[in-house]
Structure 1
Amino acid sequence: MPYLNCAVLTVGTLAQRHQPTIPTPDGLLLRPWRAEDVPAVYEAFQDPVMHQWHIRAADSEDEVRGWIDEWRQEWEKEDKAQWAVVDADSDQLLGRVALRSILLDEGTAEVAYWTVAAARGQGVAARATTALSRWALEEIGFHRLELMHAVRNVASCRVAAKAGFALEGTKRSALLHQDGWHDMHMHARVQGD
């Protein structure tokens, strides 16, 4: 049975090109992950704030090495795409930004991010999310990007708003964290926003 609509993006849209490095106009660089990032990622995941809002923990640098190998391979699979967010001058790791749940045929993906403790409060997550969103919507041709965060994570709500993601509603009891089920705010940005 034929589909009535054409795919928004075709298979190979991402995999047939190298994962890009995306600069921001204000000193950040979104770049593919490297093996050298292992110690900084491990350190970031020792932060209690990461444990509060994320569902993963890092028990060892070997475990993180496996994550980075996985993150680097995800580009080829086109279901996720992950970047290290670094200072453009020093290459110091400041965080991560990603497209998850990529559906090429529908032209949709979910944006996710985190920052290291020392980078919080400096607009790193909002600046990186804005740069990634522009690239995904304007250069690649995604139609819709979604961003979800726990309702109680007020800082993430500010990031979403600063990055141009409109609040669309609340998904009740949508994600299980260590402390129980969390209601999640759903934000989105579409082409033309």
Structure 2
Amino acid sequence: MIVPIPAVVPPGRMSRTDQPVFGLANGFELRPWRPDDAKVLADSCQDPDVQQWNRPGHLSLDDAGERITRWEKRWRTEEAAVWAISEPGGGSPVGLIGLGDFDLCGGSAEFLYWLLPAGRGRGVMLEAVVRVSRWALDDLGLHRLRITHSVANAASCRVAQKAGFALEGTMRSALLHSDGWHDEHLHARVQGDAWPG
């Protein structure tokens, strides 16, 4: 007799709650994207580093508004969780962090993140990755989280390693960027891994 494997995260656990807001020790805040953030999201596509490493395409103001609406829906359908990294006091976004490629049944998800120049060099992404990881593993109940990035993206590699995501290997020619195919590092954290000091 084949015994079915139960879902790691039961359906509805995420969608039954509102998307949480997290304060960070450095004063920044993780909050859902709002309709009035559409201009920041559209403008972010013009930033060379965001464009190089995240491939967001070019968004009009209407496109950005639709994307924000889609992120809200994807929370309710348990497909993704995307936050704005905003200035202290719920101010304007300086970045994005989220989890996509959700497999709640299998207990895994993959990080996506970027920062605009106003948020860089302040340690905010490291703190945000650790905070979202704690929510995903401890509160939601996922078992494994992944971070993948181009091997040429040293800043993303530092964030992953400092956040306690072990480097598991290199995926050859794994993602097409504007300058060609890039090898990608694969980092992961699983339930029970030690949190950074």
Partner of 2:180: 180
Mapped partners of 1:3, 1:146: distance in 2 = 28
Equivalent in the alignment of 2:77: 77
Partner of 1:169: 169
Match of 2:100 in 1: 100
Residue type matched to 1:46 in 2?
A: Q
Q: Compared with structure 1, are the counterparts of its residues 2 and 17 closer, same or farther at alpha carbon in structure 2 (3 Å cutoff)?
A: farther
For 1:148, the equivalent position in structure 2 comes to: 148
Per-residue Cα deviation, 1:25-83 (whole angstroms, up to 9, x for no partner) = 33121111100111111222111111211222224211111111111111011111111
TM-score, with normalisation over the residues of structure 2? 0.92
| Contact persistence 2:37–2:92 (CA under 8 A) | no
Q: Which residue of 2 aligns with 1:55?
A: 55
| Equivalent residue, structure 2, for 1:126 | 126
Contact 1:23 1:131 in 2 (8 A): no
Any conservation in 1 of the 2:137–2:143 contact (CA below 8 Å)?
yes
Distance in 1 of aligned mates of 2:170 and 2:180: 17
Instruction: Using the TM superposition, name which of 97-106 and 49-58 deviates more.
Output: 49-58
Q: Aligned partners of 2:177 and 2:119: how far apart in 1?
A: 23
**What is the identity percentage for the equivalent residue pairs of Structure 1 and Structure 2?**
45
1:141 deviation in Å?
1.0
What is the SS of the residue equivalent to 1:89?
coil
Amino acid aligned to 1:102: F
Could you tell me how far apart the structure 2 residues matched to 1:90 and 1:171 are?
38
CA distance in 1, matches of 2:92, 2:8: 36
Please give the per-residue CA displacement for 1:84-130, whole angstroms capped at 9, x wherever unaligned: 11123251212111111110111100011011122112112111111
RMSD across aligned positions (CA): 1.5
Give secondary structure in 2 for the equivalent of 1:46. coil
Kindly provide the amino acid, as one letter, of the partner of residue 148 in structure 1.
T
Q: Secondary structure at the match of 1:148?
A: strand
Structure 2 Cα separation of the partners of residues 30 and 185 of structure 1 = 26
> Contact 2:19–2:32 at 8 Å: present in 1 too?
yes
**Aligned residue number for residue 111 of structure 2:** 111
Could you tell me whether the CA contact under 8 Å between 1:44 and 1:117 is conserved in 2?
no
- Partner SS state of residue 58, structure 2: coil
Contact 1:94 1:124 in 2 (8 A): no
TM-score, with length taken from structure 1? 0.94
Offset of 1:164 from its aligned partner?
A: 1.4
Indicate the SS of the match to 1:41: helix
Which amino acid is 2:108 matched to?
T
Instruction: Quote how far apart the aligned CAs of 1:20 are.
Output: 1.0
- Mark the runs of 5 or more structure 1 residues left unpaired by the alignment: none
Q: Distance in 2 between matches of 1:159 and 1:191?
A: 19
- Give structure 1 regions of 4+ aligned residues with deviation exceeding 3 angstroms: 1-4
Q: Which residue of 2 aligns with 1:190?
A: 190
